[in-house]
Amino acid sequence: MRKKIAFTSILIGILFFLNSSQYLSWFYILGQCNDGNYVDFIGQFLGKIFQALGILLFCGYAYFVKKKPSKIIEFSILIAVNFLLTVVTIIPQFRDGIVVTGLLMNIAIGLLYAWYVAIIVDIIDKNNYGLTFGAGIALSCVFSYILYFFDKDYSFITSIQCLYLYALISIGVTVLYVLTLYSYINTTRLVEQSSTYKVASPFSKNYILIIFSALLFASIVNGLGFFQPSSDISSFHISVEAMRLFYTLSLVIAGILNDKSRGLGFILCLVALSFAFALPIMHDNTTGVYVTWVLAYVFIGFISVCRTVIFLDIAKENDKYYLAPIGLFIGRAGEPIGMQFRFGLANNNALLLVVISILFAVTIVLFAIPFTQFYGVNTRSDEEIDYHGVFIDRYQLSSREVQILDELLSGNANKEIAANLYITESTVKFHVKNLMKKTNCKNRNELIKLYNTENRLNK
């Protein structure tokens, strides 16, 4: 498992390094001939929005073709198109159309971002999603810093010479992707196909909508509070790549903690967002500028991992591969929206804090529903949890089936269970039927009797 996590993290790290470097080449070329506000709007707002569009295109493709788009030819074509758009964007002869070519390149980057994240569902066990994603993105930040160390004036990544590096990496990641397909994905699918039971999903449509809304509001708050203008880069000699080293640390920590407990990941995400109140006030002097940049990159790691991992869970549990990159889409769409609000409120910190407060309150309310219903703390005693866990492991119950079992043990009817778990009664009946099948019980009374009998025997 460790080898699989390491291999996949390296693949993701190189892929994200390639695409983030291509984006930065475009961004810095824009900054050479335009003022800061224009660069912020085109580069940080439209660029991210077009990446979000690319992610949606991937989701639509995966939804309509009804298969996991892991074909080597498809991936190779996308890598090639992305490289050609990068060439057209960077070559001086085409600089007059750099906005259009750059935005098209960002669509391709969004498609590839989605592809990279989605392969985690195919390769990695869900208990290691956070570490795999966090370590992969952290590795890409380290690669970016190494490049920056040798190119501190950005002369290389804004020149034609960088295309040789991008071509080499593009070929390399294609080969690495092929190796990944044959080494891990095919093996994983054979194991899945050998199983006669399909795990029931604990995520209803209502639940997914609530999660989507909660994470979208969180991303908007993040954009409002943590946005740093591109003028800081020139005025205060800020190194984005150096600052992203702080992001690297938070990504790994957030990945480990999210794998330990998704509920803990939710809490850390909200704690990180709470600093959005302080950062706009601190950004008023040289020291404050540096502090806000550091804190922004420290805290955004917890938010990034949380929203990505949650939708990887949803994609896996629902067997809906096209949902895997939605967490990434939320970040790419929500944060630019928050940034635009920040632009409009740049000179009015009081109103900015009011807006952040309202959106943060809405985020907390939305987060509370999935947290208490699915990621909440179990109130059983340690001894009860041990016996409960034995029963769950013995009959290989899914997360939602465990919830249904707890509701049945409390004597709740289907209608009450549906209301408590925010699902439909038909969904409750579906899970109850699976419970009966797994435990070989004819009705819920027999199930409760079996549970109590086995607990007594275990004691």
pLDDT score of 230 more than 80:
no
Tokens of 356: 């952040």
pLDDT score of 70 more than 60:
no
pLDDT score of 199 more than 50:
no
Q: Which residues lie below 8 Å from residue 288, measured CB to CB, with a gap of 6+?
A: 282
User: Which percentage of the chain shows pLDDT scores above 70?
Assistant: 86
Rounded CA-CA distance 345/364 in Å is 23
Cβ neighbourhood burial of 196 (10 Å; 0-12, 13-18, 19+)? exposed
pLDDT score of 74 more than 70:
yes
Q: Find the range with the poorest average confidence among 98-102, 272-276, 327-331, 367-371.
A: 367-371
**Given 3-state DSSP classes, what are the helix, strand and coil percentages for the chain, each rounded to the nearest 5?**
85, 0, 15
pLDDT score of 392 more than 90:
no
Average pLDDT of the segment spanning 290-313: 86
Of 218, 256, 251, residue with least CA distance to 371: 218
pLDDT score of 121 more than 80:
yes
Average pLDDT of the segment spanning 39-58: 92
- Could you give the angle at the alpha carbon of 315 between the alpha carbons of 389 and 17, nearest 5°? 115
For 153-183, the pLDDT digits (tens) are 889 999 999 999 999 999 999 998 888 777 6
Label residue 189 by pLDDT band (50, 70, 90).
very low
Q: What is the pLDDT of residue 1?
A: 64
Mean pLDDT of the chain: 82
Cβ neighbourhood burial of 351 (10 Å; 0-12, 13-18, 19+)? exposed
